[in-house]
Structure 1
Amino acid sequence: MLAEKLEQLRSLFAEMDRALIAYSGGIDSTLVAKVAWDVLGDRALAVTAESPSLLPEDLEDARVQAAEIGIAHEVVQTHEMDNPNYTANPVNRCYFCKSELHDTLKPLALERGYPYVVDGVNADDLQDYRPGIQAAKERGARSPLAEVGITKLEVRELSRMLGLPWWDKPAQPCLSSRFPYGEEITITKLQRVGRAERYLRSLGLKTLRVRSEGDTARIELPAEDIKTCVATLDLPTLVAEFQRYGFVYVTLDLEGFRSGKLNQVLGVGALG
């Protein structure tokens, strides 16, 4: 079944002939880039949008992964932070982010002779509250994984099947997803969250989020890791480091990590 879906994915790209991939460096868009390269070679181009909501490490990962795949890779600047509809952080914030992204990528694709812009939306994403999907569709983008019916789990299985070493890479949605709806997003706040998450990863933690609300940082770790982390981490040093970044209060979410937790106020599926 999985092999059949992979063949369908390859056939889809063969029909496109040329494609520009909206490539974040995440597991989904990287699989799309890999298959596009395997089928189209130099008729495929991966483009990453750089903005304050993207961690520098994630941009570097995107570069490294593209180089390992072999696909041509470019970086463009997007300016969603200039849009007050985005920085106000409404429940459809992602709509304005993806509007900016695809308003940037579509003209680039047409200029370079790529008739299709494709993204990494998978079949599971269609079941969640993802206003960005609407923005992409309005601008003619296609989602090969979703079209073929490939789920998030199958993305990882296919990535492992194709020998991609990052097949088990944790999901890393944009930093703006760390803030509760209605709290204004600023570059300073994004940088503060980014530095905090980077610090926690330097301690050996892998799957995590730092949720930010006002002056408070709420750390989410997998529930099974909480007891060990509390017992082994130097908590006073951790708190002091977060306060150095600008947080006043540092808390630990006892429920544990859950992707898209801030979206629970909507009573719908996770954003990531």
Structure 2
Amino acid sequence: MKQTAEEKELILRKYLRDLGSVVVAFSSGVDSTYLLKVAHEELGDKAIAATARSCSFPVRELKEAEQFCSENGIRHIICESEELEIEGFKHNPKNRCYLCKRELFEKLLGVAEKEQIQAVVEGSNMDDNGDYRPGLIAIDELGIKSPLRHAEMTKNDIRERSKALGLKTWDKQSFACLSSRFVYGEEITEEKLHMVDQAEQLLLDMGFHQVRVRIHGTIARIEVLPDEFSNLIKKENCQKIVKEFKAYGFTYVTMDLQGYRMGSMNETLGE
């Protein structure tokens, strides 16, 4: 019989209790917020949060992470992790995510050792198993724990239980680091990361719920949910978006007719 989200959460809670103490890789996203909340409920002060600060991580997300930990009385450690300094990363190879996760989690293992914490945990879920995710290889190599996958929780399960726990993130848009907006092989620069960050923030401020601004040279390819297409193409919105995007440094502004979808840059991998 298929397990309910509530039943899976019980498995998650036992798994975390058995670990004893954890450093939670915390991005303030749907998954890691839920994981941190449950870990803190089960382990108290033996669950601490760690967030990496870098130019590929929007300031709004860092502020949300800080606010959540402050409101919930969770100890929060911020690590400096500049991906552009990792050898080969800025050239955006197909294993970019592996390079980033390897560097990040090595730092978090250092935090765990210093704080005498038993395990480092991260928030990937069952839905992450189907896409191209080289970062999961680094996670496995380093012995990082994935409690949500252990409990076989899907994104929908996590949203359901987040809502039940009163978490504001239960319906938050999915997020991935800004480097994922670049087509493989295109150089990642701090300037272009800032362009993407500003562009996505504009769309969020305009009320779009789930957005991606993919960058191809100086071309912006906007992805929004199909039911938000009509709002995107309203004349006044088009004019505002084009004006602002060009001010950020984009030459052309386009709309993806397939709409938002996870990992759309991976569609080129088989070519």
Q: Which residue of 125, 134, 147 corresponds with 2:128?
A: 125
For residues 265 and 74 of structure 1, the distance between their equivalents in structure 2, rounded to whole angstroms, comes to 37
Aligned residue for 1:66? 69
* Partners of 1:37 and 1:70 within 8 A in 2: no
Aligned residue for 2:190? 187
Aligned residue for 1:82? 85
**Could you state the TM-score of these two structures normalised by the residue count of structure 1?**
0.94
Q: 1:202 to 1:2 in 2, by over 3 A?
A: closer
1:95 aligns with 2:98: yes
Cα deviation code 1:85-112 (max 9, x no counterpart)? 2111111110001011011110111011
For residues 32 and 82 of structure 1, the distance between their equivalents in structure 2, rounded to whole angstroms, comes to 29
SS at match of 2:124: coil
Note the residue ranges of structure 1 that are not aligned, 5 or more in a row. Answer: none
Q: Which aligned pairs between 1:3-152 and structure 2 lie closer than 5 A?
A: 3-152=6-155
SS at match of 1:212: strand
Deviation at 1:50, TM superposition (A): 0.6
**Could you state the TM-score of these two structures normalised by the residue count of structure 2?**
0.95
For residues 81 and 22 of structure 1, the distance between their equivalents in structure 2, rounded to whole angstroms, comes to 20
For residues 34 and 267 of structure 1, the distance between their equivalents in structure 2, rounded to whole angstroms, comes to 39
Q: Which residue of 174, 182, 189 corresponds with 2:177?
A: 174
Displacement over 4 Å in runs of 4+? none
Aligned residues: 268
SS at match of 1:129: coil
* Partners of 2:221 and 2:253 within 8 A in 1: yes
Q: Which residue of 223, 228, 238 corresponds with 1:225?
A: 228
Instruction: Using the aligned pairs only, state the percent identity.
Output: 42
1:204 aligns with 2:207: yes
* Partners of 1:79 and 1:100 within 8 A in 2: no
SS at match of 2:170: coil
* Partners of 1:88 and 1:184 within 8 A in 2: yes
Deviation at 1:252, TM superposition (A): 1.3
Kindly provide the amino acid, as one letter, of the partner of residue 90 in structure 1: P
Note the residue ranges of structure 2 that are not aligned, 5 or more in a row. Answer: none
Q: 1:69 to 1:87 in 2, by over 3 A?
A: same
Kindly provide the amino acid, as one letter, of the partner of residue 9 in structure 1: L
Kindly provide the amino acid, as one letter, of the partner of residue 215 in structure 1: T
What's the C-alpha RMSD, in Å, of the aligned pairs?
Answer: 1.5
